[in-house]
Copies of this chain bind each other. A is one copy, B any other.
């Protein structure tokens, strides 16, 4: 059992927070405002192991912190969380830098020479950023059995022990060890994030988010 801070109250944040509580962790869901109604309502479902608070309170609570905010506001949310509340901790970044302001399909707001994962690592050099889980629907993130057969979760980050910690967490979600693929340093976040337009096309053509990719070799 660990203390985990989840930043973000959207479907991704709520799905991850709920799974984390269900498997025994103490979770604080963080929002821009400590009085966020969605965070309060969520925490009331699990009075023994769930709390809510500001981004800073959630990050301070966590031994591990999850960035589940929208990618275009993640840096701002993490600045609100505070570098001092992230230092020395594993920061699992599941966000995608997708800008929906121009409608669908969204644009990648960072691409080619940089990635959100790298931006976060540069902005918070004392955090151990691990990019993972951003390549699938949040329901699949926490329950890989929703998709039959072999399929994979890809991760990237600079710190091996942080990646080990994330891999352990993924295994506790039900991911088989062989399905957890380490792509190397945080620079690989460029590929993980640039995959999203293909994910959106696949979702559109399949008519469901219950799918994922497997790297066959």
Which residues of A come within 8 Å of B, CB atoms? 105, 107-108, 111-113, 147-151, 154, 156, 181-184, 188, 190-192, 194-202, 204-206, 208, 210-217
**Contact across chains for B192 and A205 when beta carbons are under 8 A apart:** no
For chain A, what secondary structure do more than half of its interface residues adopt (helix, strand, loop), or is it mixed? mixed
Min CB distance A26 to B, Å, is 33
Residues of chain B with a CB closer than 8 A to A215's CB = 202, 206, 211-213
**Contact across chains for A197 and B190 when beta carbons are under 8 A apart:** yes
Residues of chain B with a CB closer than 8 A to A201's CB = 156, 183-184, 188, 190-192
**Contact across chains for B210 and A213 when beta carbons are under 8 A apart:** no
Residues of chain B with a CB closer than 8 A to A212's CB = 215-217
Complex formed: what's the CA distance from A205 to B191 in Å? Answer: 12
Complex formed: what's the CA distance from A143 to B148 in Å? Answer: 26
